[in-house]
Amino acid sequence: MPEQMKLISAAKSHGGVQGVYSHASDACACEMTFAVFVPPQAAQGPLPVVWYLSGLTCTHANVMDKGDYRRMAAELGLIVVCPDTSPRGADVPDEKDNWQFGCGAGFYVDATQKPYAGNYRMYSYVTEELPALIAREFPADMTRQAIFGHSMGGHGALTIALRNPARFRSCSAFAPIVQPTTAGWSRPAFEKYLGADEVAWRGHDACALVEDGARFPEFLVDQGTADGFLQDGLRPWLFQEACDRAGTKLALRMQEGYDHSYFFISTFMDDHLRWHAERLLPDG
C-alpha cells in the first residue's frame, strides 16, 4: 500500500470490504482517519462515490458502526466514504470541555483565525485533499459523486454541494444545521474559526448561500419531530423558506417521533442511498 495511506482495518461485509485508513494530511497538518466501503461490484470497474459527513462529537466510526449503510450500498453498487469531523492530535488546538468546538467540531470550514487556521481546514480536506486520495487509491468514478450527512455534517453536505454544484449529482441531509450563522450552538464556533466579520460566514451557511445566489438542483432532508435540537440548532423551515424563494426543489420530510440519534438515521438510510442511486446510476 502506498506510504501516504495506511490500512488500519478491513472486514468483509455484504460481499464488499469495509476499510478504515489513515494518512498524513497536508490540509489539516496531522494524521487523518477515514472509512471507505467498497461494494462487490467494484470488481467490474469504477463505481459512484457517496460522501457521508458526520456531526458534532463524531468520528468516521459513528456512521460506520451505527448507520446501517453497507447492505444497501452493496445492493446498489455505491462506494461510501466517511471522513472524520476534524483534525486531531496532541498538537491540534482544542477546547476539551466544549463539545461544540474544536476536535470533533470542525464544521467543514477552513479556519482563518489563530491558533485554528493551521489545522482546521476541513473544507479543503473534504473537497480537495481526500477526494484526490480516493480517486488515486480506490475504484472510484469521480464523475459520479453524491454527498449527504447528519447535523453538523448535514450543514457540511448542503454548503459543499451549493459551493460545488458541478461536482455532485445529488445532496441530502439528516437533521442539518441549516443556518449556523444564527444558531446558538454554532455561532461561537464560526467566530473562533472565521473571525468577527459575519460576511465571511455566509459562504458556510446553507440559507445564506441560497440567498446569495448559489444553486443546486434539488435536496432531500429528513428531520425528526422529537429532535431536542430542532428549535434552537436545526430549524429546517428556514432552509425551506430560502429554497422556496429561490425556486429550488426541497423535499423536507418531518418524521414523526424521531429524535437526533442514529436510530433515526439508520431508519431512513436506505431511502437516502436509493435517492442518490437514482441520480448516480445509469439505470437508477
Cα(111)–Cα(193) distance, integer angstroms: 4
Helix (H) or strand (E) segment spanning residue 207: helix 206-211
Residue of 176, 188, 282 lying closest to 237 (CA atoms)? 176
Separation CA 53–CA 2 (nearest Å): 25
> How far, in Å, CA of 212 to CA of 194, rounded?
19
Number of H helices, E strands in the chain: 9, 9
Which residues form the catalytic set?
151, 227, 260
Q: Which helix (H) or strand (E) holds 242?
A: helix 236-246
Please, is 95 exposed, middle or buried when counting C-beta atoms within 10 Å of its C-beta (0-12, 13-18, 19+)?
middle
